[in-house]
Amino acid sequence: MKKMIKTTALVLAVFLLSFQLSIAQTAKTKLTFMGWGAEGRYHELFDATFKAYPELSAKYEMNYVMESDTLAKLRLQLAAGGSEVPDMMEINYSDTAEFASQGVFADLSKAAQPYQSNTMPEVMKLAQFNGKLIGVPIQTKTLIWFYRKDLFDQAGIDPAKIRNTEDFIAAGRKLHAKFPKSYIWNLGSQTQGYIIAEIASGNGARFFDAKGNYVIDTDPGVRAMLLDLKKIKDSGVVVDMNDWTPDWNKAFSDGTLASTLCAKWLADFIPDYAGKDLSGKWAMALWPSIAGAQGGSESGGSLFAVLDKSRNKAAAADILTKMWMTKKAYDAIRQTKTFAAWSPILKDAAAAPEARAIPYFAPGAFDTEMAALKQFKLFTFSPKYNQELKILLPYVDKCLAGTMSADDALKGAQKDMVQTLENALSQ
């Protein structure tokens, strides 16, 4: 009996040991990614990359954390000591300054080194901060003028010939004369922050000087932006309608909006808003020079960054650089439905014939986008940009509504920024 017990115990021990060993051999490193919106799109991205690089799939396993406000969550995680921060996260360029200035992101320069020569230098600007590579760019928010080619053709408007604000207003009048229910743009009672960054990035406007002192009331770029927006609004060529309202969504399909000045990301929304019937009728052109802006971008774009406090920095850097800096992964990602319309950010990917097909939009969209990328410029965002915007926008609204002069609006914004934020660069 004793012998039987001993034998059973021995067999059990061997079994348990071998089981433990097999677990140890197959255990994958678990990495966490924090993003926003639908979790599925991140699944698609990582699955496509792991499919392109099976060795990554063998070593790593992904865990996704979706947050409606990733920045607030990150601040809380850092305030709690940082042990719970994700390994990787998505972040908009306009939000990076606050965290990058505090060394929150890992430097990916070394991991990206093998792929650097294939990246577009304009795009890589997005991820550089004080000589460090704080992430991998995933999307550029180039300035694009979306327009209804059928309506513009009938009204005899060629977007390529619209050079400045005056031309834009004249084109708006021409369009409205031909189609009384159609407008060239919308400017409602609540100006969107991205319009400010879109124009300010191209005309060199600044909210603060090198020492962080606010100069919004004296900066010529900010003033020109405000005056030109007012000129456009007062001309009557724009419809009084706010973005992200039910009216706005419908305006893309019912012809109220025959065009809109925005950034490339709107291409992800127009097919849904405008509907299948208008497929091939919406086209892309370069922005005219509004307020003297030559090119620019809307908040730059987005990055995937690795957190400096991550326990798996090397693994995260390995995955992200392969994901966004190799054509192999780019091709796999393009196969997914979600990212089919995303712009290439690699030289060889941009040169590939298949990249030229941008679904839904009229031919020529890809060339426009590449031309917009050549004029890609970044606005100088401070770590307090969101707070600055919250102060500035109501003054812009009052000025555009005609209830406040441009001078008073800029002085008011300057006073409030100094009163509440003190200095743009102070913590």
Q: How far is the CB of 190 from other proteins (least distance, A)?
A: 5
Question: Considering the rule CB under 8 A, would residue 219 count as an interface residue with other proteins?
Answer: no
Residue 330 amino acid letter: Y
Rounded (10°) CA dihedral 172, 177, 180, 182: -30
Question: Considering the rule CB under 8 A, would residue 411 count as an interface residue with other proteins?
Answer: no
Question: Considering the rule CB under 8 A, would residue 397 count as an interface residue with other proteins?
Answer: yes
Q: How far is the CB of 383 from other proteins (least distance, A)?
A: 9
Question: Considering the rule CB under 8 A, would residue 122 count as an interface residue with other proteins?
Answer: no
User: Tokens representing 127?
Assistant: 């991820």
Q: Is-contact 261 287, C-beta < 8 A? A: yes
Rounded (10°) CA dihedral 392, 396, 399, 400: -170
* CA nearest neighbour of 88 among 311, 321, 323, 307: 307
Residue from the set 35, 86, 159, 188 that interacts with other proteins by CB under 8 A: 188
Q: How far is the CB of 12 from other proteins (least distance, A)?
A: 43
Q: How far is the CB of 61 from other proteins (least distance, A)?
A: 28
Residue 189 amino acid letter: S
CA–CA separation, 416 vs 419, rounded Å?
5
Q: How far is the CB of 403 from other proteins (least distance, A)?
A: 10
Number of residues that bind other proteins (CB under 8 A): 39
Sign of the dihedral through C-alpha 36, 379, 296, 356: negative
Give the nearer residue to other proteins in terms of CB position, either 304 or 385. 385
Question: Considering the rule CB under 8 A, would residue 79 count as an interface residue with other proteins?
Answer: yes
Residue from the set 25, 68, 117, 130 that interacts with other proteins by CB under 8 A: 68
CA–CA separation, 196 vs 226, rounded Å?
9
Q: Return the residue matching tokens 């609204």.
A: 397
Q: How far is the CB of 189 from other proteins (least distance, A)?
A: 5
Give the nearer residue to other proteins in terms of CB position, either 52 or 399. 399
Q: Is-contact 203 292, C-beta < 8 A? A: yes
- Residues 32-61, mask of contacts with other proteins (x by CB under 8 A): ----x-------------------------
Give the nearer residue to other proteins in terms of CB position, either 22 or 420. 420
Piece of 6-14, 135-143, 167-175, 388-396 that binds other proteins (CB under 8 A): 388-396
Q: How far is the CB of 123 from other proteins (least distance, A)?
A: 23
In angstroms, the Cα distances linking 357 to 40, 160, 336, 363, 364 are 24, 21, 14, 8, 9
Piece of 2-10, 74-82, 86-94, 108-116 that binds other proteins (CB under 8 A): 74-82
Q: Return the residue matching tokens 């992904």.
A: 62
Q: CB 281: neighbour CB atoms within 10 A?
A: 17
Piece of 218-226, 227-235, 351-359, 387-395 that binds other proteins (CB under 8 A): 387-395
* CA nearest neighbour of 136 among 150, 122, 126, 121: 126
Question: Considering the rule CB under 8 A, would residue 298 count as an interface residue with other proteins?
Answer: no
Residue from the set 43, 173, 250, 347 that interacts with other proteins by CB under 8 A: 250
Rg from Cα positions in the chain: 25
H or E stretch at 392 = helix 385-401
Q: How far is the CB of 107 from other proteins (least distance, A)?
A: 18
Q: What's the gap between Cα 407 and its chain centre?
A: 32
Could you list the residues that contact other proteins (CB under 8 A)?
A: 36, 68-69, 71-72, 75-76, 78-79, 82, 98, 102, 104, 188-190, 192-193, 241-247, 250-251, 256, 384, 386-387, 390, 393-394, 397, 416, 419-420, 427
